[in-house]
Amino acid sequence: MVVKMDKAQRIANKQKQISISEFFEKNKHFLGFDTHQRAIITAVKEAVDNSLDACEESRILPDIHVYIKRIEGGKLELITQDNGPGIPRDSIANVFGKFLLGSRFHAIRQTRGQQGIGITGVVMYSQLTTGSSTTVLSKIEAESTAVKVDLALDTKNNRALKSNEERIPMEEWFEESGMQTLHGLRIKTVMSAKYQRGRQSVHQYLRMTSIVNPHATIRLKVIGKEGEIVDEGEWVRSTSKLPRPVVEIKPHPHGMQFGTLQRMLKNTKERTVKSFLRKEFEKVSPLVAKKILEHAELDEKRRPAGLPVESIQSLLAAFMEVKIQSPPVDCLSPIEDLLIKKGLEKAIDSRYAATVTRNPSVSQGNPFQVEVGLVFGGDLPSDGTVELLRFANRVPLMYQQGGCLLTKAIESIDWRRYGLEQPGGKGVPKGPAAILVHLASTNVQFTSEAKEAVSDNEEVHDELRRALFEVGRGLQSHRKRIGQREKSREKFDLINKILPEIASKSSSMLGREPPDLSPIITKIMNAVFCEEEVIWEPREKLAKCSIKIYNYTARARAYTIIAKWPESDSTSIVQNERGGRKEARGLWAWRLDAIDPGSMASIDFTVSGLNKGDWKEAEVFYRGNGEVIGSEKIDEALLEEARKQERLQEVVEEFVVPSASTSSHQKDTVSLDSNIVSSEIWEAGDKLF
């Protein structure tokens, strides 16, 4: 008897388990390998990101080399090497040959990568397009020899296939790697790819990477088929300061979703719901845990694994109703203002640079921090749109610019008020400028698996706008100050040239002594001028700032002069004869009681802890009656907000809460409420304090 198989059963029998490797093999565009030009950029990106992460975790200043060689058949040979800690022999196959294997996916801290996909994707793409294996050469400091092995990928079983594994002596490691370090990693692979120059190229990616990683030295060399140099670049580190180590934190209640909370309750080893809340979450003290359970109407002795769906939903609702401190922010590692300037000036020749690092904030339980830099003038072209430099966790974003939250924030600003062209007040502005935007977060939400653009988020968007307003006002102030000085200097030079000649000829004709022209020049000019200059003293390694106030009016003048200087943990004012006082962080004030007509008063001070080029221009503000050309009147409202933020920061730093995720001597700090200054205040302010 023949039994006919049901159609539904036949369809069901065709279902097969798909390995993650097979999925990415058929959908390589998810990983950024959709075109030959993007393939080489993605491959370099994954290798360089891994090198930077490994070096920083081992507290090593990174030296990274990228070599690309064009070979026959539209293929490229890619070699990347670093001076990182290397990879132990037993771990090489897992690191390079298995998707979704990594140490960072469950860690809540700022990292460049998390999923364990990147470098394995490079091995897969090389094998898929050329059939070649990837050669890995690894040297760890504890061993006297290096490991060399060829790797391929078994996509069906998601594992590496090793071949030609051997140990090589130290001399051969030095010769093959070209590096004299006792540790490091060298990767060599061949892929179908195309090298091109331009804004979307390996050269641009490495240039951008050097800007936000000023502690790294990165070198690029591209060789043609005939051995000629097609392209090259070198970005030498401009600081020896490594990014601060980030501390892993626990989940925060405000970032919870139902499924995640349900899984945590099921897997926890805690015996009661109260201990579960205290031990598994950040900033949940015994008192806070008690309030959450009271609001959720749950017995604190209930077993976590036995909670029904309704109770889990009640817990989620209680998380949002009970006041819970924001998570600690030592899980973030921002670039910081001074290092952003160093990075920008290393890659871009400009006359003016302004940076803003906002205080950390929180979105859906995830700490984040935004940083913005703006450079203007110099060699930047003035006939096109400004250059946008987008970064997420120190990684350049090269594609999907129009769909990125970082771009949308820039486009939402009316840049015309700050001196840049912007038809209709919308879109990317035009002019000789570059705008850098960096988002540091424990959980950057991207629009796709290729991590090329940041998805929409209202809290992040608002923080970006506040930072952009601030650098915009700095640019406006700079342009106004330069314009005023040029016009005043031209007028002053003209008067000082013509009047003495008239006086000389008139006196000669009348046989008299030339008169004192100071009162006449003062009457004609009828203005107060400010000039500032920052000079680097190489022998003393000090930055010396000189501020001069000229009174060309008919009466004595009195002002409080306020200078903005690069205050940080490593800098200090070491010479300051006039004394003065601190107004706020990075702002120092001096009182000038009387500047007589036709006279000049000077302020000189010196700053230590800087390197050459760190500080090129001091922004000068004043408090007093009338106008001071070349300076800006202080905005007292914004100054008070700056003081308020500083006082709050001091209070927060004194507030210590023990955390189970850190050692006993470490401190958790509460993140600041960056919404203290409303967007309306920032938009309304026409002047930068």
Cα(first)–Cα(last) distance of the chain, in Å?
93
Question: Quick one: 564 and 451 in the same domain?
Answer: no
Domain-terminating residue out of 321, 346, 369: 321
Q: Is residue 1 part of a domain?
A: no
68 touches 188 (CB < 8 A): no
Give me the domain span that covers residue 53: 20-235
Domain identity same for 224 and 170: yes
- pLDDT exceeds 50 at position 664: no
pLDDT tens, 258-291?
Answer: 888 888 888 888 888 888 888 888 888 889 888 9
Q: For residues 647 and 42, what is the distance between their CA atoms, to the nearest angstrom?
A: 44
Whole-number pLDDT of residue 536: 92
Residue 340 has pLDDT above 70, yes or no: yes
- pLDDT tens-digit profile of 389-405? 999 888 888 888 888 99
pLDDT in tens, 587-632: 999 999 889 888 889 999 999 998 887 788 888 999 988 888 888 8
Considering only residues 343 and 420, tell me which one the structure prediction assigns the higher pLDDT: 420
Query: Which residue carries 């004595």 as its tokens?
Result: 556
Q: Contact 183/139 with Cβ under 8 angstroms? A: yes
In a domain, 8, yes or no: no
Same domain, 156 and 178: yes
Share of residues in the chain with pLDDT > 90 (%): 22
Residue 243 lies in a domain: no
- Specify the 3-state DSSP secondary structure of 473: helix
**With bands split at pLDDT 50, 70 and 90, how would you rate the model's confidence at 72?**
confident
* Residue 324 CB neighbours (<10 A): 20
- Look at residue 504 in the predicted model and tell me its pLDDT: 80
The angle at the Cα of 200, spanning 197 to 201, to the nearest 5 degrees, equals 45
Could you give the residue ranges of the DSSP H alpha helices within 511-632? 518-525
pLDDT computed for residue 46 by the predictor: 87
Query: Which pLDDT value is given to residue 32?
Result: 60
pLDDT for 426 beyond 50: yes
pTM score > 0.75 for this model? no
Locate 586 and state its tokens.
């990075």
Say yes or no: 502 and 551 in one domain. no
Q: Is there a domain that residue 12 lies in?
A: no
CA distance 431 to 479: 13
CA within 13 Å, CB half, 253:
28
**Angle, helix 309-321 to helix 286-296, in steps of 10 degrees:** 120
Q: Give me the pLDDT at residue 441, please.
A: 87
How sure is the predictor about 409, in pLDDT bands with cuts at 50, 70 and 90? very high
> Residue 225 belongs to a domain with what CATH number?
3.30.565.10
Contact 132, 193 (CB under 8 A): no
Q: Inter-axis angle of helices 118-130 and 89-97, to 10 degrees?
A: 70
- Residue 576's pLDDT band, with cuts at 50, 70 and 90, is very high
**Domain identity same for 391 and 489:** yes
Question: Measured between alpha carbons, how far is 388 from 426 in angstroms, rounded to an integer?
Answer: 15
Q: What is the mean pLDDT of the chain?
A: 80
Neighbours of 578 (CB within 10 A): 15
183 and 85 together in one domain = yes
What are the backbone angles phi and psi of residue 368, rounded to the nearest 5°?
Answer: -150, 160
Instruction: Indicate the Cα dihedral angle 118, 120, 126, 131, nearest 10°.
Output: -160
Indicate if the pLDDT at residue 567 is higher than 80.
yes
Q: Which amino acid is at 373?
A: G
Q: What is the 3-state secondary structure (H, E, C) of 20-65?
A: HHHHHHHCHHHHCCCCHHHHHHHHHHHHHHHHHHHHHHCCCCCEEE
Residue 241 forms part of a structural domain: no
Higher pLDDT, 344 or 522: 344
Q: With bands split at pLDDT 50, 70 and 90, how would you rate the model's confidence at 202?
A: very high
Specify the CATH number for the domain of residue 332: 3.30.230.10
The answer to whether the CB of 246 falls within 8 A of the CB of 109 is yes
Contacts of 188 (CB under 8 A, 6+ apart): 77, 78, 79, 134, 135, 136, 137
Give the residue from 596, 619, 634 where a domain finishes.
Answer: 634
For 528-549, the pLDDT digits (tens) are: 888 888 999 988 999 999 999 9
State the sign of the Cα–Cα–Cα–Cα dihedral 49, 54, 59, 64.
negative
| Residue 659: predicted pLDDT | 36
Chain segment 113-164, per-residue pLDDT in tens = 544 457 888 888 888 888 889 999 999 998 889 999 998 887 777 778 888 9
Can you tell me the distance from the alpha carbon of 627 to that of 557, in angstroms, rounded to the nearest whole number?
11
Angstrom distances, CA of residue 290 to CA of 294, 436, 659 = 6, 45, 18
Q: Cα–Cα distance between 500 and 504 in angstroms, integer?
A: 6
Q: Are 346 and 457 found together in one domain?
A: yes
pLDDT, tens digit (0-9, with 9 covering 90-100), for 513-532? 877 776 777 777 788 888 88
317 within a domain of the structure (yes/no): yes
> Do 356 and 505 belong together in one domain?
yes
Using the 3D structure, point to which of 270, 288, 321 is the last residue of a domain: 321
Is residue 523 classed as helix, strand or coil in its secondary structure? helix
Decide which of 340 and 114 is more confident: 340
Give me the DSSP letters along 369-426: EEEEEEEESTT--SSSBPEEEEEETTEE--S--TT-HHHHHHHTS-GGGGT-B-GGG-
Predicted pLDDT at 17? 45
Instruction: Report which residue type is found at 107.
Output: A
Query: Is-contact 155 120, C-beta < 8 A?
Result: no
**Is there a single domain that holds both residue 604 and residue 617?**
yes
Asked whether residue 2 is domain-assigned, the answer is no
> What confidence tier does 180 reach under pLDDT thresholds 50, 70, 90?
confident
Same domain, 333 and 445: yes
Q: What pLDDT does residue 3 have?
A: 53
Phi first, then psi: give them for residue 399, nearest 5 degrees. -125, 175
Per DSSP, the three-state class of 562 is strand
The DSSP call for residue 609 is S
Query: Degrees (nearest 5) of the Cα angle 257, 263, 268?
Result: 120
Contact 622, 559 (CB under 8 A): yes
Task: Convert the pLDDT of each residue in 243-263 to its tens digit.
Answer: 888 778 888 887 677 888 888
Judge if 384 and 456 occupy the same domain. Answer: yes
* pLDDT above 70 (res 209): yes
Using pLDDT thresholds of 50, 70 and 90, give the confidence band for residue 672: very low
- pLDDT confidence of residue 663: 37
Q: Would you say residue 636 has pLDDT above 80?
A: yes
Examine the domain organization and report whether 291 and 205 are in the same domain: no
User: Which of the pair, 663 or 344, is modelled with greater confidence?
Assistant: 344
Q: Is residue 15 part of a domain?
A: no
- What average pLDDT does this structure show over 4-20? 54
- The CATH number given to whatever domain includes residue 258 is 1.10.8.50
Mean pLDDT of 334-350: 76
Q: Contact at 8 Å (CB) between 286 and 275?
A: no
Q: Which of 64-68, 223-227, 477-481, 609-613 has the highest mean pLDDT?
A: 64-68
- Answer yes or no: is pLDDT of 667 > 50: no
Q: How many domains does the chain have?
A: 4
Q: 210 pLDDT exceeds 70?
A: yes
Q: What angle do CA 398, 401, 406 make, to 5 degrees?
A: 100
pLDDT at 112: 66
pLDDT higher at 325 or 666: 325
